[in-house]
Protein backbone atom coordinates (compact mmCIF):
# COMPACT_ATOMS: atom_id res chain seq x y z
CA UNK A 1 0.00 0.00 0.00
CA UNK A 2 1.01 3.60 -0.55
CA UNK A 3 0.51 5.79 2.47
CA UNK A 4 -2.19 8.46 2.18
CA UNK A 5 0.51 11.10 2.69
CA UNK A 6 2.55 9.77 -0.22
CA UNK A 7 -0.47 9.58 -2.48
CA UNK A 8 -1.49 13.12 -1.63
CA UNK A 9 2.04 14.35 -2.18
CA UNK A 10 1.95 12.74 -5.59
CA UNK A 11 -1.40 14.35 -6.36
CA UNK A 12 -0.04 17.75 -5.34
CA UNK A 13 2.88 17.23 -7.65
CA UNK A 14 0.57 16.33 -10.53
CA UNK A 15 -1.62 19.36 -9.85
CA UNK A 16 1.43 21.64 -9.88
CA UNK A 17 1.61 21.05 -13.65
CA UNK A 18 -1.92 22.46 -14.17
CA UNK A 19 -2.96 26.00 -14.95
CA UNK A 20 -3.45 27.90 -11.69
CA UNK A 21 -7.10 27.99 -10.60
CA UNK A 22 -6.55 30.90 -8.23
CA UNK A 23 -4.95 34.29 -8.55
CA UNK A 24 -6.74 35.56 -11.64
CA UNK A 25 -4.05 34.57 -14.12
CA UNK A 26 -6.12 31.93 -15.93
CA UNK A 27 -8.72 33.82 -17.98
CA UNK A 28 -10.79 30.84 -19.13
CA UNK A 29 -12.08 27.62 -17.56
CA UNK A 30 -11.86 28.83 -13.97
CA UNK A 31 -13.84 31.34 -11.92
CA UNK A 32 -12.08 32.75 -8.90
CA UNK A 33 -13.81 34.78 -6.22
CA UNK A 34 -10.42 35.62 -4.76
CA UNK A 35 -11.81 34.71 -1.31
CA UNK A 36 -9.98 31.82 0.29
CA UNK A 37 -12.80 31.05 2.73
CA UNK A 38 -15.10 30.41 -0.23
CA UNK A 39 -12.73 27.71 -1.43
CA UNK A 40 -12.25 26.09 1.95
CA UNK A 41 -15.98 26.18 2.69
CA UNK A 42 -16.78 24.60 -0.68
CA UNK A 43 -14.20 21.87 -0.11
CA UNK A 44 -15.46 21.12 3.42
CA UNK A 45 -19.10 20.98 2.31
CA UNK A 46 -18.13 18.80 -0.65
CA UNK A 47 -16.42 16.33 1.70
CA UNK A 48 -19.44 16.23 4.02
CA UNK A 49 -21.82 15.11 1.27
CA UNK A 50 -19.72 13.42 -1.40
CA UNK A 51 -20.82 9.92 -0.43
CA UNK A 52 -24.53 10.80 -0.37
CA UNK A 53 -26.43 9.75 -3.50
CA UNK A 54 -28.84 12.08 -5.26
CA UNK A 55 -30.36 9.05 -6.98
CA UNK A 56 -32.98 8.77 -4.24
CA UNK A 57 -34.14 12.01 -2.58
CA UNK A 58 -36.18 10.10 -0.03
CA UNK A 59 -33.07 8.31 1.19
CA UNK A 60 -31.00 11.52 1.28
CA UNK A 61 -33.44 14.30 2.13
CA UNK A 62 -30.55 16.69 2.81
CA UNK A 63 -29.79 16.69 -0.92
CA UNK A 64 -33.44 17.27 -1.80
CA UNK A 65 -33.54 20.24 0.55
CA UNK A 66 -30.30 21.73 -0.78
CA UNK A 67 -31.43 21.32 -4.39
CA UNK A 68 -34.75 23.05 -3.70
CA UNK A 69 -32.89 25.85 -1.93
CA UNK A 70 -30.55 26.40 -4.89
CA UNK A 71 -33.38 26.32 -7.42
CA UNK A 72 -35.24 28.89 -5.32
CA UNK A 73 -32.14 31.13 -5.23
CA UNK A 74 -31.70 30.90 -8.99
CA UNK A 75 -35.36 31.57 -9.59
CA UNK A 76 -35.34 34.62 -7.30
CA UNK A 77 -32.39 35.97 -9.22
CA UNK A 78 -33.86 35.36 -12.67
CA UNK A 79 -37.15 37.19 -12.48
CA UNK A 80 -38.69 35.93 -9.23
CA UNK A 81 -41.72 34.72 -11.13
CA UNK A 82 -44.08 32.27 -9.42
CA UNK A 83 -44.36 28.73 -10.72
CA UNK A 84 -40.70 28.40 -11.75
CA UNK A 85 -39.17 24.99 -10.94
CA UNK A 86 -35.88 23.41 -11.87
CA UNK A 87 -33.11 20.90 -11.39
CA UNK A 88 -29.51 21.10 -10.31
CA UNK A 89 -27.36 19.45 -12.97
CA UNK A 90 -23.67 18.67 -13.32
CA UNK A 91 -22.92 21.67 -15.52
CA UNK A 92 -24.02 24.00 -18.27
CA UNK A 93 -23.92 21.38 -20.98
CA UNK A 94 -26.20 19.05 -19.02
CA UNK A 95 -28.62 21.93 -18.37
CA UNK A 96 -28.74 22.76 -22.08
CA UNK A 97 -29.12 19.09 -23.01
CA UNK A 98 -32.09 18.72 -20.68
CA UNK A 99 -33.76 21.88 -21.97
CA UNK A 100 -33.55 20.44 -25.48
CA UNK A 101 -34.73 17.00 -24.39
CA UNK A 102 -37.70 18.45 -22.52
CA UNK A 103 -38.69 20.45 -25.59
CA UNK A 104 -38.29 17.52 -27.97
CA UNK A 105 -40.38 15.14 -25.89
CA UNK A 106 -43.14 17.63 -25.18
CA UNK A 107 -43.77 18.04 -28.86
CA UNK A 108 -45.99 15.69 -30.80
CA UNK A 109 -43.40 13.66 -32.70
CA UNK A 110 -42.60 15.66 -35.82
CA UNK A 111 -41.10 13.81 -38.75
CA UNK A 112 -37.85 15.65 -38.31
CA UNK A 113 -37.85 17.90 -35.23
CA UNK A 114 -35.48 20.86 -35.19
CA UNK A 115 -34.02 23.52 -32.92
CA UNK A 116 -33.42 27.10 -34.03
CA UNK A 117 -30.10 28.54 -32.85
CA UNK A 118 -28.09 31.67 -33.47
CA UNK A 119 -24.68 30.62 -34.86
CA UNK A 120 -23.17 32.02 -31.66
CA UNK A 121 -25.10 29.60 -29.42
CA UNK A 122 -22.91 27.41 -27.26
CA UNK A 123 -21.78 24.13 -28.82
CA UNK A 124 -23.68 22.37 -26.02
CA UNK A 125 -26.72 22.74 -28.30
CA UNK A 126 -24.85 21.07 -31.15
CA UNK A 127 -24.18 18.21 -28.77
CA UNK A 128 -27.87 18.11 -27.82
CA UNK A 129 -28.96 17.97 -31.46
CA UNK A 130 -26.38 15.24 -32.07
CA UNK A 131 -27.40 13.14 -29.07
CA UNK A 132 -31.14 13.55 -29.38
CA UNK A 133 -31.48 13.30 -33.14
CA UNK A 134 -32.62 16.83 -33.87
CA UNK A 135 -31.94 19.00 -36.89
CA UNK A 136 -30.09 22.20 -36.15
CA UNK A 137 -31.22 25.35 -37.88
CA UNK A 138 -28.21 27.65 -37.43
CA UNK A 139 -29.24 31.25 -37.96
CA UNK A 140 -26.46 33.74 -38.82
CA UNK A 141 -26.05 36.60 -36.35
CA UNK A 142 -25.46 40.27 -37.07
CA UNK A 143 -21.97 40.35 -38.64
CA UNK A 144 -20.87 43.40 -36.64
CA UNK A 145 -22.57 43.11 -33.24
CA UNK A 146 -22.57 39.28 -33.17
CA UNK A 147 -26.05 39.44 -31.64
CA UNK A 148 -28.78 37.11 -32.84
CA UNK A 149 -30.96 38.53 -35.60
CA UNK A 150 -34.54 38.34 -34.28
CA UNK A 151 -36.19 38.63 -37.71
CA UNK A 152 -34.04 35.83 -39.11
CA UNK A 153 -34.68 33.72 -36.01
CA UNK A 154 -38.44 34.27 -36.36
CA UNK A 155 -38.30 33.36 -40.04
CA UNK A 156 -36.45 30.11 -39.21
CA UNK A 157 -39.24 28.83 -36.94
CA UNK A 158 -41.51 26.31 -38.65
CA UNK A 159 -43.75 23.37 -37.78
CA UNK A 160 -40.76 21.18 -37.01
CA UNK A 161 -39.29 23.61 -34.43
CA UNK A 162 -39.32 22.32 -30.87
CA UNK A 163 -37.06 24.96 -29.29
CA UNK A 164 -35.61 28.40 -29.99
CA UNK A 165 -32.41 29.43 -28.19
CA UNK A 166 -30.81 32.75 -27.27
CA UNK A 167 -27.72 33.51 -25.16
CA UNK A 168 -27.41 35.85 -22.19
CA UNK A 169 -24.65 36.42 -23.04
CA UNK A 170 -22.91 34.35 -25.71
CA UNK A 171 -19.68 32.69 -24.63
CA UNK A 172 -17.56 33.69 -27.63
CA UNK A 173 -18.19 37.45 -27.61
CA UNK A 174 -20.07 38.10 -24.37
CA UNK A 175 -22.90 39.89 -26.17
CA UNK A 176 -26.54 39.67 -25.17
CA UNK A 177 -29.03 38.41 -27.75
CA UNK A 178 -32.30 40.36 -28.15
CA UNK A 179 -34.26 37.98 -25.92
CA UNK A 180 -37.63 39.84 -25.86
CA UNK A 181 -37.95 39.90 -29.65
CA UNK A 182 -36.92 36.27 -30.06
CA UNK A 183 -39.17 35.13 -27.22
CA UNK A 184 -42.10 37.01 -28.76
CA UNK A 185 -41.59 35.17 -32.04
CA UNK A 186 -41.42 31.82 -30.24
CA UNK A 187 -44.51 32.62 -28.19
CA UNK A 188 -46.46 33.57 -31.28
CA UNK A 189 -45.66 30.19 -32.84
CA UNK A 190 -46.30 28.31 -29.58
CA UNK A 191 -42.69 27.09 -29.45
CA UNK A 192 -40.50 26.81 -26.36
CA UNK A 193 -37.71 29.35 -25.89
CA UNK A 194 -34.53 28.67 -23.89
CA UNK A 195 -32.28 31.44 -22.59
CA UNK A 196 -28.75 30.15 -22.12
CA UNK A 197 -27.61 32.25 -19.18
CA UNK A 198 -25.04 29.65 -18.15
CA UNK A 199 -22.31 32.26 -17.90
CA UNK A 200 -24.32 35.44 -17.36
CA UNK A 201 -27.22 34.37 -15.19
CA UNK A 202 -25.47 34.81 -11.86
CA UNK A 203 -23.75 38.07 -12.74
CA UNK A 204 -26.02 40.14 -14.99
CA UNK A 205 -28.78 40.57 -12.36
CA UNK A 206 -26.12 41.99 -10.01
CA UNK A 207 -24.77 44.23 -12.77
CA UNK A 208 -28.30 45.60 -13.13
CA UNK A 209 -28.43 46.27 -9.37
CA UNK A 210 -25.12 48.11 -9.73
CA UNK A 211 -26.70 50.41 -12.30
CA UNK A 212 -25.70 48.74 -15.56
CA UNK A 213 -28.13 48.86 -18.44
CA UNK A 214 -29.02 45.18 -18.78
CA UNK A 215 -31.82 44.54 -21.28
CA UNK A 216 -34.41 42.01 -20.05
CA UNK A 217 -33.58 38.33 -20.54
CA UNK A 218 -35.18 36.38 -17.67
CA UNK A 219 -38.59 34.87 -16.86
CA UNK A 220 -40.20 38.33 -16.82
CA UNK A 221 -39.89 38.26 -20.60
CA UNK A 222 -43.06 36.71 -22.06
CA UNK A 223 -42.28 33.56 -24.01
CA UNK A 224 -39.14 32.50 -22.09
CA UNK A 225 -39.82 28.90 -21.02
CA UNK A 226 -36.44 27.78 -19.62
CA UNK A 227 -33.15 29.29 -18.44
CA UNK A 228 -29.80 27.67 -17.65
CA UNK A 229 -27.40 29.23 -15.16
CA UNK A 230 -24.15 27.67 -14.00
CA UNK A 231 -23.24 27.71 -10.33
CA UNK A 232 -19.68 26.70 -11.15
CA UNK A 233 -19.18 29.92 -13.10
CA UNK A 234 -20.19 33.25 -11.54
CA UNK A 235 -21.70 31.74 -8.38
CA UNK A 236 -18.04 30.82 -7.73
CA UNK A 237 -18.92 27.28 -6.63
CA UNK A 238 -16.65 24.26 -7.09
CA UNK A 239 -16.98 22.48 -10.42
CA UNK A 240 -19.99 20.28 -11.06
CA UNK A 241 -23.15 22.35 -10.66
CA UNK A 242 -25.58 24.25 -12.86
CA UNK A 243 -29.29 24.96 -12.60
CA UNK A 244 -31.89 24.41 -15.30
CA UNK A 245 -35.06 26.37 -14.58
CA UNK A 246 -38.41 25.84 -16.31
CA UNK A 247 -41.23 28.38 -16.21
CA UNK A 248 -43.59 25.68 -14.89
CA UNK A 249 -43.64 22.11 -13.60
CA UNK A 250 -45.60 21.15 -16.71
CA UNK A 251 -42.69 22.26 -18.91
CA UNK A 252 -40.19 20.34 -16.79
CA UNK A 253 -41.94 16.96 -16.85
CA UNK A 254 -40.46 15.76 -20.13
CA UNK A 255 -36.87 16.12 -19.02
CA UNK A 256 -37.45 13.63 -16.18
CA UNK A 257 -36.95 9.91 -16.79
CA UNK A 258 -38.54 6.85 -15.21
CA UNK A 259 -38.16 3.15 -15.85
CA UNK A 260 -39.99 0.41 -13.98
CA UNK A 261 -39.26 -2.04 -16.78
CA UNK A 262 -36.53 -4.09 -15.14
CA UNK A 263 -36.26 -6.18 -11.96
CA UNK A 264 -34.33 -3.60 -9.94
CA UNK A 265 -35.44 -0.36 -8.28
CA UNK A 266 -37.67 1.89 -10.34
CA UNK A 267 -35.15 4.24 -11.87
CA UNK A 268 -36.31 7.83 -11.39
CA UNK A 269 -34.00 10.57 -12.64
CA UNK A 270 -34.21 14.33 -12.76
CA UNK A 271 -31.01 14.61 -14.79
CA UNK A 272 -28.88 12.60 -17.21
CA UNK A 273 -26.90 11.14 -14.33
CA UNK A 274 -28.53 8.57 -12.11
CA UNK A 275 -26.22 8.08 -9.15
CA UNK A 276 -25.19 11.65 -8.38
CA UNK A 277 -22.65 12.67 -5.78
CA UNK A 278 -24.01 15.02 -3.14
CA UNK A 279 -20.59 16.69 -3.06
CA UNK A 280 -20.93 19.37 -5.74
CA UNK A 281 -24.50 20.14 -4.67
CA UNK A 282 -23.55 20.60 -1.00
CA UNK A 283 -20.51 22.65 -1.97
CA UNK A 284 -22.65 24.96 -4.11
CA UNK A 285 -25.32 25.23 -1.42
CA UNK A 286 -22.71 26.19 1.17
CA UNK A 287 -21.01 28.79 -1.05
CA UNK A 288 -24.31 30.36 -2.11
CA UNK A 289 -25.52 30.50 1.50
CA UNK A 290 -22.25 31.97 2.67
CA UNK A 291 -21.93 34.68 0.04
CA UNK A 292 -25.60 35.57 -0.23
CA UNK A 293 -26.85 38.51 -2.28
CA UNK A 294 -24.51 40.96 -0.53
CA UNK A 295 -21.46 38.84 -1.23
CA UNK A 296 -22.42 38.36 -4.87
CA UNK A 297 -23.06 42.07 -5.29
CA UNK A 298 -19.56 42.84 -4.02
CA UNK A 299 -18.01 40.18 -6.27
CA UNK A 300 -20.01 41.40 -9.27
CA UNK A 301 -18.85 44.93 -8.61
CA UNK A 302 -15.20 43.78 -8.55
CA UNK A 303 -15.61 41.74 -11.74
CA UNK A 304 -17.43 44.61 -13.45
CA UNK A 305 -14.72 47.11 -12.59
CA UNK A 306 -11.98 44.70 -13.68
CA UNK A 307 -13.77 44.03 -16.97
CA UNK A 308 -14.25 47.73 -17.67
CA UNK A 309 -10.59 48.50 -16.95
CA UNK A 310 -9.31 45.63 -19.09
CA UNK A 311 -11.71 46.49 -21.88
CA UNK A 312 -10.72 50.14 -22.05
CA UNK A 313 -7.06 49.21 -21.68
CA UNK A 314 -7.35 46.90 -24.69
CA UNK A 315 -9.15 49.57 -26.69
CA UNK A 316 -6.27 51.96 -25.98
CA UNK A 317 -3.59 49.54 -27.16
CA UNK A 318 -2.78 50.35 -30.81
CA UNK A 319 -3.89 47.64 -33.20
CA UNK A 320 -6.25 45.87 -30.77
CA UNK A 321 -10.02 45.91 -31.10
CA UNK A 322 -12.76 44.52 -28.84
CA UNK A 323 -15.37 42.53 -30.78
CA UNK A 324 -18.98 43.59 -30.38
CA UNK A 325 -20.30 45.32 -27.27
CA UNK A 326 -19.85 42.83 -24.43
CA UNK A 327 -22.33 43.30 -21.58
CA UNK A 328 -20.92 41.16 -18.82
CA UNK A 329 -17.52 39.80 -17.87
CA UNK A 330 -16.34 38.33 -21.17
CA UNK A 331 -14.14 40.12 -23.68
CA UNK A 332 -13.06 38.94 -27.12
CA UNK A 333 -10.47 41.05 -28.90
CA UNK A 334 -8.67 40.85 -32.19
CA UNK A 335 -5.68 42.51 -33.80
CA UNK A 336 -6.00 44.70 -36.85
CA UNK A 337 -2.47 45.11 -38.13
CA UNK A 338 -1.37 41.63 -39.01
CA UNK A 339 0.48 40.39 -35.92
CA UNK A 340 -0.25 36.82 -34.91
CA UNK A 341 -2.78 36.47 -32.07
CA UNK A 342 -1.80 32.88 -31.37
CA UNK A 343 1.70 34.17 -30.69
CA UNK A 344 0.23 36.76 -28.32
CA UNK A 345 -1.41 33.90 -26.40
CA UNK A 346 1.95 32.08 -26.20
CA UNK A 347 3.70 35.26 -25.06
CA UNK A 348 1.04 35.75 -22.37
CA UNK A 349 1.55 32.14 -21.29
CA UNK A 350 5.27 32.80 -20.96
CA UNK A 351 4.35 35.74 -18.70
CA UNK A 352 2.10 33.53 -16.55
CA UNK A 353 -1.33 34.31 -18.05
CA UNK A 354 -3.71 31.99 -19.86
CA UNK A 355 -5.87 33.65 -22.52
CA UNK A 356 -8.03 31.55 -24.83
CA UNK A 357 -7.53 31.65 -28.61
CA UNK A 358 -10.72 31.49 -30.71
CA UNK A 359 -10.56 30.61 -34.40
CA UNK A 360 -12.16 32.73 -37.10
CA UNK A 361 -15.83 31.89 -37.66
CA UNK A 362 -18.14 33.65 -40.14
CA UNK A 363 -17.58 37.38 -39.59
CA UNK A 364 -15.75 36.79 -36.31
CA UNK A 365 -12.00 37.04 -36.93
CA UNK A 366 -9.41 35.04 -35.01
CA UNK A 367 -9.38 36.50 -31.51
CA UNK A 368 -8.46 36.03 -27.87
CA UNK A 369 -11.13 35.43 -25.26
CA UNK A 370 -10.99 36.60 -21.65
CA UNK A 371 -13.24 35.41 -18.86
CA UNK A 372 -12.82 38.09 -16.19
CA UNK A 373 -13.67 37.27 -12.58
CA UNK A 374 -13.58 39.07 -9.24
CA UNK A 375 -10.02 37.81 -8.73
CA UNK A 376 -8.83 39.98 -11.63
CA UNK A 377 -9.68 43.10 -9.69
CA UNK A 378 -6.50 44.86 -8.68
CA UNK A 379 -4.21 43.28 -11.27
CA UNK A 380 -5.71 44.86 -14.40
CA UNK A 381 -2.65 47.07 -14.92
CA UNK A 382 -0.28 44.15 -14.68
CA UNK A 383 -2.40 42.23 -17.17
CA UNK A 384 -2.47 45.13 -19.63
CA UNK A 385 1.27 45.75 -19.31
CA UNK A 386 1.98 42.10 -20.07
CA UNK A 387 -0.53 42.15 -22.92
CA UNK A 388 1.17 45.18 -24.48
CA UNK A 389 4.54 43.46 -24.16
CA UNK A 390 3.11 40.27 -25.66
CA UNK A 391 1.71 42.17 -28.64
CA UNK A 392 5.08 43.84 -29.15
CA UNK A 393 6.79 40.46 -29.02
CA UNK A 394 4.30 39.02 -31.54
CA UNK A 395 4.92 41.98 -33.87
CA UNK A 396 8.65 41.47 -33.58
CA UNK A 397 8.33 37.72 -34.19
CA UNK A 398 6.44 38.28 -37.43
CA UNK A 399 3.83 36.01 -38.95
CA UNK A 400 3.66 32.32 -38.13
CA UNK A 401 4.06 30.38 -41.32
CA UNK A 402 2.74 26.92 -41.90
CA UNK A 403 5.21 24.64 -43.68
CA UNK A 404 3.77 24.42 -47.22
CA UNK A 405 4.34 20.66 -47.30
CA UNK A 406 2.37 20.24 -44.07
CA UNK A 407 -0.37 22.58 -45.28
CA UNK A 408 -0.63 20.52 -48.45
CA UNK A 409 -0.81 17.32 -46.41
CA UNK A 410 -3.65 18.80 -44.31
CA UNK A 411 -5.52 20.13 -47.35
CA UNK A 412 -5.58 16.63 -48.81
CA UNK A 413 -7.12 15.04 -45.71
CA UNK A 414 -10.75 13.99 -45.75
CA UNK A 415 -12.37 14.13 -42.29
CA UNK A 416 -14.73 11.31 -43.20
CA UNK A 417 -11.97 8.83 -43.96
CA UNK A 418 -9.04 10.08 -41.86
CA UNK A 419 -7.02 7.14 -40.56
CA UNK A 420 -4.81 6.96 -37.48
CA UNK A 421 -1.85 6.41 -39.81
CA UNK A 422 -2.58 9.69 -41.58
CA UNK A 423 -2.92 11.40 -38.24
CA UNK A 424 0.38 9.96 -37.04
CA UNK A 425 1.92 11.13 -40.32
CA UNK A 426 0.60 14.61 -39.74
CA UNK A 427 1.99 14.71 -36.21
CA UNK A 428 5.36 13.61 -37.49
CA UNK A 429 5.29 16.15 -40.33
CA UNK A 430 4.38 18.89 -37.84
CA UNK A 431 7.25 17.84 -35.58
CA UNK A 432 4.95 16.42 -32.92
CA UNK A 433 5.88 12.79 -32.63
CA UNK A 434 3.31 11.11 -30.40
CA UNK A 435 4.15 10.78 -26.73
CA UNK A 436 6.31 13.89 -26.60
CA UNK A 437 3.57 16.01 -25.01
CA UNK A 438 2.55 19.50 -25.96
CA UNK A 439 5.15 22.04 -27.06
CA UNK A 440 5.53 25.29 -25.10
CA UNK A 441 4.43 27.32 -28.07
CA UNK A 442 1.04 26.53 -29.55
CA UNK A 443 1.05 29.20 -32.29
CA UNK A 444 2.42 26.90 -35.03
CA UNK A 445 -0.18 24.24 -34.19
CA UNK A 446 -3.00 26.77 -34.02
CA UNK A 447 -1.87 28.29 -37.32
CA UNK A 448 -1.98 24.84 -38.88
CA UNK A 449 -5.40 24.06 -37.38
CA UNK A 450 -6.69 27.41 -38.62
CA UNK A 451 -6.00 26.27 -42.20
CA UNK A 452 -8.30 23.27 -41.74
CA UNK A 453 -12.05 23.62 -42.38
CA UNK A 454 -14.13 23.07 -39.20
CA UNK A 455 -15.07 19.41 -39.90
CA UNK A 456 -11.43 18.51 -40.47
CA UNK A 457 -10.36 20.47 -37.40
CA UNK A 458 -12.92 18.56 -35.34
CA UNK A 459 -11.67 15.26 -36.66
CA UNK A 460 -7.99 16.11 -36.12
CA UNK A 461 -8.64 17.24 -32.58
CA UNK A 462 -10.67 14.11 -31.83
CA UNK A 463 -7.75 11.99 -33.04
CA UNK A 464 -5.51 14.06 -30.81
CA UNK A 465 -7.89 13.53 -27.87
CA UNK A 466 -7.85 9.80 -28.43
CA UNK A 467 -4.07 9.88 -28.45
CA UNK A 468 -4.04 11.87 -25.18
CA UNK A 469 -6.42 9.44 -23.50
CA UNK A 470 -4.27 6.42 -24.03
CA UNK A 471 -2.73 4.91 -20.88
CA UNK A 472 1.02 4.71 -21.22
Ligand X SMILES: *Cc1c(COP(=O)(O)O)cnc(C)c1O
275 secondary structure, DSSP code: S
Smallest separation, CB 240 to ligand X (Å): 9
Within 13 Å and on the Cβ side, how many CA atoms surround 382?
A: 10
CB–CB of 446/464 below 8 Å?
Answer: no
Q: Which residues pair with 137 in a beta bridge?
A: 116
Q: Which residues pair with 420 in a beta bridge?
A: none
Report how many residues bind ligand X under the rule CB under 6 A.
Answer: 13
When binding is defined by CB under 6 A, the residue of 30, 96, 98, 214 that contacts ligand X is 96
Q: How far apart are CA 176 and CA 200, in angstroms?
A: 9
Smallest separation, CB 324 to ligand X (Å): 15
Nearer to ligand X, 161 or 242 (CB): 242
Nearer to ligand X, 94 or 346 (CB): 94
Residues 167-186 that bind ligand X (CB under 6 A): 167, 171
DSSP β-ladder status, 356-358 and 367-371: antiparallel
Nearer to ligand X, 88 or 452 (CB): 88
Q: Which residues pair with 244 in a beta bridge?
A: 87, 228
Please identify, among the stretches 85-93, 260-268, 402-410, 450-458, the one whose residues bind ligand X according to the rule CB under 6 A.
85-93
Nearer to ligand X, 49 or 237 (CB): 237
Smallest separation, CB 198 to ligand X (Å): 4
Q: How far apart are CA 160 and CA 108, in angstroms?
A: 10
* Closest to 176 measured CA to CA, from 213, 224, 210, 228: 213
When binding is defined by CB under 6 A, the residue of 32, 177, 196, 380 that contacts ligand X is 196
Nearer to ligand X, 165 or 306 (CB): 165
Phi-psi region of 80 (alpha: psi -120 to 50; beta: other; left: phi over 0): left
Closest residue to ligand X using C-beta atoms: 92
Q: Helix (H) and strand (E) counts for the chain? A: 16, 13
DSSP 88-128: EESSHHHHHHHHHHHHHHHS---SS-EEEEETTS-THHHHH
Residue 122 binds ligand X (CB under 6 A): yes
Residues 224-243 that bind ligand X (CB under 6 A): 230, 242
Smallest separation, CB 332 to ligand X (Å): 13
Smallest separation, CB 175 to ligand X (Å): 11
Smallest separation, CB 347 to ligand X (Å): 26
Nearer to ligand X, 150 or 169 (CB): 169
Please identify, among the stretches 11-19, 193-201, 316-324, 344-352, the one whose residues bind ligand X according to the rule CB under 6 A.
193-201
Please identify, among the stretches 57-65, 130-138, 195-203, 255-263, the one whose residues bind ligand X according to the rule CB under 6 A.
195-203
Smallest separation, CB 58 to ligand X (Å): 28
> What own/partner pairs with CB < 8 Å and gap ≥ 24 does 375-380 have?
375/22, 375/23, 375/24, 375/32, 375/33, 375/34, 376/24, 376/27, 376/303, 376/306, 376/307, 376/310, 377/24, 377/34, 377/302, 377/303, 377/305, 377/306, 378/306, 379/24, 380/306, 380/309, 380/310, 380/313
Please identify, among the stretches 30-38, 191-199, 407-415, 445-453, the one whose residues bind ligand X according to the rule CB under 6 A.
191-199
Nearer to ligand X, 96 or 176 (CB): 96
3-state secondary structure at position 87: strand
Residues in the chain: 472
Please identify, among the stretches 36-44, 147-155, 196-204, 284-292, the one whose residues bind ligand X according to the rule CB under 6 A.
196-204
217 secondary structure, DSSP code: -
Binding mask 365-404 for ligand X (x = CB under 6 A): ----------------------------------------
Within 13 Å and on the Cβ side, how many CA atoms surround 90?
A: 11
DSSP 141-175: PPTTT----HHHHHHH--TTEEEEEEESS-TTT-P
When binding is defined by CB under 6 A, the residue of 78, 185, 198, 345 that contacts ligand X is 198
Nearer to ligand X, 239 or 339 (CB): 239
Q: How far apart are CA 227 and CA 417, in angstroms?
A: 39
Interface with ligand X (CB under 6 A)? 91-93, 96, 122, 124, 167, 171, 196, 198-199, 230, 242
Amino acid sequence: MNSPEDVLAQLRQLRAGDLPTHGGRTLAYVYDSGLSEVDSLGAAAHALASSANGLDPTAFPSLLRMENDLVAEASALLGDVTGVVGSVTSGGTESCLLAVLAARDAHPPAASPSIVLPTTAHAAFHKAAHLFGLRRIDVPVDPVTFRADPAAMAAAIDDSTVLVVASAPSYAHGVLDPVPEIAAAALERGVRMHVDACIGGWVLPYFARLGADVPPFDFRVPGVTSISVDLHKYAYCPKGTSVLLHASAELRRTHYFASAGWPGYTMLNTTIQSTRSGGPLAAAWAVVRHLGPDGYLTLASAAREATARIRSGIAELPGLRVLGDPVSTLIAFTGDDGFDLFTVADEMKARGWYVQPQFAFESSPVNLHLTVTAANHGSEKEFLTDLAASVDAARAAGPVTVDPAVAEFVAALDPATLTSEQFAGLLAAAGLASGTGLPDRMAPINALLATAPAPLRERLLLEFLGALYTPS
